[in-house]
């Protein structure tokens, strides 16, 4: 395992900024009480950069050295390259939040995901390279683990980049969800290679250290855009506005640095592909409890209500193609259904129009949480995730969603029910 020091400045308190879903409250996380200890992000020292960054010259050796936090087991990557070299079609994929989706890039080809795809098409010009970008703005690995089967693994990707270190904000809950997400991908029958990519906010905020725990546990390649840029920004040798139009999303120059980081690492694997040995099997025990091992998303088509009033089947305007089958109400709604699960959560729409209502969630008659669809004055409509139950033993449950007492607003769109 290759280790490298991090920037000298301490990580700021985790907050969610424009383009990323807000952080959850204690009730929202629904984490077992015995496991609610707070972790501290580790920070060590690096040599302070002194020379101004010339973006026209690209990624420097110092940036690359800082950014490769773990070279990892490269057997699966070497296998994918040999497969492509033999002329067999491959599929490359990415999953993450708005950075993976390509927000702030001038076009999809110039975002890091597009550049990652470009690497494979140019390295293997005689091979068919299929591409799946499963990035969705404002979403975290908790939603990711529930949608990955349908929106990414169904395409049988041979190699996947995972990026959630800006959108993940709950150190404990998202450690669980990120672990299960990575395990789901690694456990896929076609044995895809996995690269973990860590991004950052302007002030250095990132769940990199928590995600690194997962990377170390499974000896995966861990590459950090945070370590490329944040030491330079902190030292004053790089102006953040040159790589981002806001406090999170890379512009073309920022995405180019990520693309160069990925390409340089992949070239190091390619150069040694024929001498890389090791098993491609994934047999590691779960780093956490793997709560979301069987995670999936239920839509309105998958749920047969025991009782329903106000709500009706409909399609939202924010994710009409990705999540088309919803339960929607403009007036006071009530929805009851039954399901078997050990963990339960909801993916619902928060809106800025001032019409979003508050709805209580009851499990077997006990109130377990509230869904608040109001985002008045916010940056835009988006899908919020909220965990209601987390546990290891599956059981049969009756779920009821009804308007909270005193809520004057009534609109609610349930995009999906997350169970495992």
- Give 186-237 pLDDT, tens digit per residue: 999 999 999 999 999 999 999 999 999 999 999 999 999 999 999 999 999 9
The mean pLDDT value of the chain amounts to 91
10 within domain boundaries = no
CATH code, domain carrying 401: 2.60.120.260
- Both 215 and 252 in one domain: the answer is yes
- Both 200 and 314 in one domain: the answer is no
Confidence of residue 298 (pLDDT cuts 50, 70, 90): very high
Confidence of residue 40 (pLDDT cuts 50, 70, 90): very low
Domain span at residue 335 reads 296-419
Confidence of residue 47 (pLDDT cuts 50, 70, 90): confident
Mean pLDDT of the region 19-26? 35
- Both 319 and 266 in one domain: the answer is no
- Both 235 and 383 in one domain: the answer is no
Model pLDDT, residue 30: 64
279 within domain boundaries = no
Least confident of 33-47, 57-71, 124-138: 33-47
- Both 190 and 54 in one domain: the answer is yes
How far apart are alpha carbons 133 and 92 in whole angstroms?
A: 9
Q: Is 311 exposed, middle or buried (0-12, 13-18, 19+ CB in 10 A)?
A: buried
- Both 231 and 330 in one domain: the answer is no
Distance of CA 303 to the CA centre of its chain: 26
Model pLDDT, residue 13: 29
Model pLDDT, residue 10: 31
Model pLDDT, residue 45: 52
* Among 236, 256, 271, residue at a domain's last position: 271
Confidence of residue 35 (pLDDT cuts 50, 70, 90): very low
- Both 308 and 404 in one domain: the answer is yes
Half-sphere exposure of residue 404: CA atoms within 13 angstroms, side-chain side:
20
280 within domain boundaries = no
- Both 33 and 158 in one domain: the answer is yes
Model pLDDT, residue 31: 61
What are residue 348's DSSP bridge partners?
384, 414
Number of domains making up the chain = 2
262 within domain boundaries = yes
What are residue 28's DSSP bridge partners?
none
- Both 224 and 301 in one domain: the answer is no
Model pLDDT, residue 12: 31
Model pLDDT, residue 4: 37
Residue 388 neighbours by CB distance under 10 Å:
23
198 within domain boundaries = yes
348 within domain boundaries = yes
204 within domain boundaries = yes
- Both 102 and 232 in one domain: the answer is yes
For residue 332 the two structure tokens come to 């006071």
6 within domain boundaries = no
CATH code, domain carrying 200: 3.40.50.1110
- Both 330 and 237 in one domain: the answer is no
pTM: 0.90
- Both 253 and 307 in one domain: the answer is no
How far apart are alpha carbons 39 and 177 in whole angstroms?
A: 16
């Amino acid at each position: 395992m290759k280790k490298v020091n991090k920037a000298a400045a301490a990580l700021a308190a985790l907050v969610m900024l424009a383009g990323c879903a807000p952080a959850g409250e204690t009730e929202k996380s629904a984490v077992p009480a015995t496991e609610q200890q707070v972790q501290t992000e580790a920070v060590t020292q690096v040599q302070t950069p002194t020379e101004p960054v010339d973006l026209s010259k690209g990624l420097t050796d110092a940036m690359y050295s800082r950014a490769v936090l773990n070279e990892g087991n490269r057997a699966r990557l070497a296998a994918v390259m040999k497969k492509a070299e033999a002329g067999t079609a491959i599929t490359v994929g990415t999953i993450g939040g708005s950075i993976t989706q390509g927000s702030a890039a001038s076009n999809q080809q110039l975002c890091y995901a597009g550049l990652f795809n470009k690497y494979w098409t140019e390295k293997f010009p005689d091979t068919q390279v299929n591409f799946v970008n499963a990035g969705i703005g404002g979403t975290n690995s908790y939603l990711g683990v529930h949608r990955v089967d349908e929106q990414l693994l169904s395409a049988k990707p041979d190699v996947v980049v995972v990026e959630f270190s800006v959108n993940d904000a709950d150190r404990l809950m998202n450690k669980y969800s990120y672990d299960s997400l990575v395990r789901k991908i690694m456990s896929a029958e076609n044995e895809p290679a996995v690269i973990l990519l860590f991004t950052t906010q302007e002030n250095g905020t990132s769940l990199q250290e928590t995600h690194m725990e997962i990377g170390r546990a499974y000896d995966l390649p861990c590459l950090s855009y945070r370590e490329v840029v944040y030491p330079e920004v902190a030292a004053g040798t790089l102006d953040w506005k040159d790589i981002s139009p806001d406090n999170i999303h890379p512009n073309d120059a920022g995405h180019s640095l990520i693309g160069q980081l990925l390409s340089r690492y992949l070239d190091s694997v390619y150069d040694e592909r024929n001498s890389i040995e090791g098993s491609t099997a994934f047999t590691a025990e779960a780093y956490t409890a793997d709560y979301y091992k069987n995670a999936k998303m239920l839509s309105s088509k998958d749920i047969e209500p025991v009782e329903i009033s106000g709500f009706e089947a409909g399609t939202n305007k924010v994710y009409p193609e990705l999540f088309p089958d919803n339960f929607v109400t403009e007036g006071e709604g009530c929805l009851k259904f039954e399901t078997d699960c050990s963990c339960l959560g909801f993916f619902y729409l928060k809106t800025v129009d001032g019409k979003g209502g508050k709805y209580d969630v009851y499990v077997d008659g006990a109130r377990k949480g509230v869904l608040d669809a109001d985002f008045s004055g916010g940056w835009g409509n988006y899908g919020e995730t909220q965990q209601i139950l987390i546990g290891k033993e599956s059981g049969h449950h009756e779920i009821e969603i009804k308007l909270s007492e005193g809520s004057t607003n009534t609109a609610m769109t349930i995009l999906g029910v997350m169970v495992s």
